[in-house]
Amino acid sequence: MQSVKVIITGPFNAGKTEFIRSISEIDVVSTERKITDATRAIKEETTVAMDFGRITVDKDLVLFLFGTPGQRRFDFMWEILSEGMLGFVVLVDSVRPETFREARSILDVFRNYAKVPYVVAANKQDLEDAWSPEDLRIALRVDRNVKVLPCVATHRESVKKVLLELLYTILEQAEEE
Amino acid sequence: MALKGNLRDFTATQLFNLINLARKTGALTVTRDGASARMYFREGKLIHASMGSNGHLTDILLRAGKITPEQCRAVLSRAQVKTDKELGLLLMSSGYTSQEEILQAVREHMLSVVYQLFTWTEGEFRFDPNVQPPEDAITVRMDLENIILEGSRRMEELERLRDELPDLDNLALQFTQQPRSQLRRIHLTVEEWRVISYINPRNSLRQIARTCGLDDFQIRRIVYGLLNAGLVELVPVQREGQVPRPLPPRGVTVGREEPPLPPMPPPARPTRSLVRRIIDRILRL
């Protein structure tokens, strides 16, 4: 069984969990919080939720979707997660311009990890105050040849479209047999 | 006069009991297979502990997720800052972390060192009375009673985990092929995340542990938890050929006594047929 992975990244609360949940064949829930484990002497541990989805392609191939932890103090995991990725999706909350700078920074970080295809998904396009994908392209200074796609992470068809656009970009750059 | 011996003959539990009951002050050094742990006590209480060269404040705070690699580099670049106390003050004045967070991270680091010692069944030890930690070290006073109780509990747990996962060298992990339908409410610690990121049938549990800076007990407990959660399954290590492996995380210190996994070669580019198979599948969803 071969496995490949796509990374879903973006600022905290951009909709990464919803995005993966909408398309994954396994249930994944995630929030970040503090827990108390009464069975341990150490009274409190920081936990990191797991955004982890899976799509069985066929009997020999599985696609894993990994969501990066949104908070920057866990960014040491980003590089680990990005190893060997086919490509990545930068999810942006289109109604929260205060997160655009962070999204831009995350985009730069991931581009430096690996020269793999990526797309930007302008999430929450169903909300009234959402910035349009083209406005987001300008705000995030995204190159013209990179796709900035409208997205509603809670809608499966919308998520499918984003993933497909990423895969089409990967296909263009993929090697022949 | 120094107190010397081997954990084979006088266990860590007995040693800590002695230090506690006799309210000893001094330094305890334990060495095993090149690894070395050093602990300081004052009137029977633990005040400082380090393992190998892995006890610098910035390493501790990085591992605990209290500072970022960038913040670490920023403070270390200041040549005038040398000691842990100075580093701590600088980190606090820079607003990177708080005194409470530093003390919590140091406390957890001390506990991890001591608990690791409980899992050692042998090792030369030496207790030097009245030796105190360097002036610049950050110390935290901790009662030994609870540590002894927890350490003993872990030893019992270790025995059970050894039965469940006897062989760290020839077992590897892979993601479960048939995941349980309910994977809700899975929350992972930073250490569990690290282990997850190295899952590959070609990485033995031992290699993962070394690269993540985990001892045998810690890796067994994490893997046991992941197994019971239905996230992963055990497979024999696949050894043929050179294989791609994840790099250690940037800015995170790996176990220094053991060599880390070798650097990963650039990932192979996907073939068109593979990408087309994925596209076809997603179109059918």
Q: Residue A43: pLDDT above 60?
A: no
Q: Does A166 touch chain B (CB under 8 A)?
A: no
**Averaged pLDDT for residues B221-236:** 82
**Averaged pLDDT for residues B168-183:** 72
**Averaged pLDDT for residues B216-233:** 83
Contact A1 B177 (CB under 8 A): yes
Rounded Cα distance, B187 and A29, in Å: 9
Across the interface, of B179, B187, B270, the residue whose CB is closest to A170 is B270
Q: Residue B243: pLDDT above 70?
A: no
Contact B145, B20 (CB under 8 A): yes
DSSP letters of A7-38?
Answer: EEE-STTSSHHHHHHHH-SS-------EE--T
Distance of CA B34 to the CA centre of its chain: 17
Contact B216, B120 (CB under 8 A): no
- Fill in the DSSP letter of residue B181: S
Q: Residue B99: pLDDT above 60?
A: yes
Q: Does B284 touch chain A (CB under 8 A)?
A: no
Split at pLDDT 50, 70, 90, the class of A73 is: low
Q: Residue B17: pLDDT above 70?
A: yes
**Best residue in A35, A116, A167, A172 for a mutation probing chain B (most B CBs within 10 Å):** A167
Contact A48 B189 (CB under 8 A): yes
Question: Which residues from chain A sit within 8 angstroms of residue B250, using beta carbons?
Answer: 76, 79
Contact A86 B271 (CB under 8 A): no
Half-sphere exposure of B31 (CA within 13 A, CB side): 5
Question: Which residues from chain B sit within 8 angstroms of residue A163, using beta carbons?
Answer: 282
pTM over cut 0.80: no
Split at pLDDT 50, 70, 90, the class of B263 is: very low
| Residue-level pLDDT at B189 | 75
Q: Does A38 touch chain B (CB under 8 A)?
A: no
Q: Residue B177: pLDDT above 90?
A: no
Q: Is the dihedral of CA B65, B63, A53, B225 positive or negative?
A: negative
Rounded Cα distance, B20 and B35, in Å: 24
Question: Which residues from chain B sit within 8 angstroms of residue A28, using beta carbons?
Answer: 183-184, 186
User: How many other C-beta atoms lie within 10 A of the C-beta of residue A161?
Assistant: 16
User: How many other C-beta atoms lie within 10 A of the C-beta of residue B133?
Assistant: 18
Rounded Cα distance, B185 and A28, in Å: 8
**Contacting B residues, span 233-262, partner chain A, CB-CB under 8 Å:** 244, 246-247, 249-252
| Residue-level pLDDT at B74 | 84
| Residue-level pLDDT at A38 | 39
Q: Does B178 touch chain A (CB under 8 A)?
A: no
**Contacting A residues, span 65-84, partner chain B, CB-CB under 8 Å:** 72-77, 79-81, 83-84
ipTM attached to this prediction = 0.88
Q: Residue B36: pLDDT above 60?
A: yes
Mean pLDDT of the residues in chain B: 81
Q: What is the pLDDT of residues B101-125, one digit of tens each?
A: 999 999 999 998 998 888 888 899 9
Nearest by Cα to B151 from A38, A46, A41, A39:
A41
| Residue-level pLDDT at B247 | 36
| Residue-level pLDDT at B118 | 87
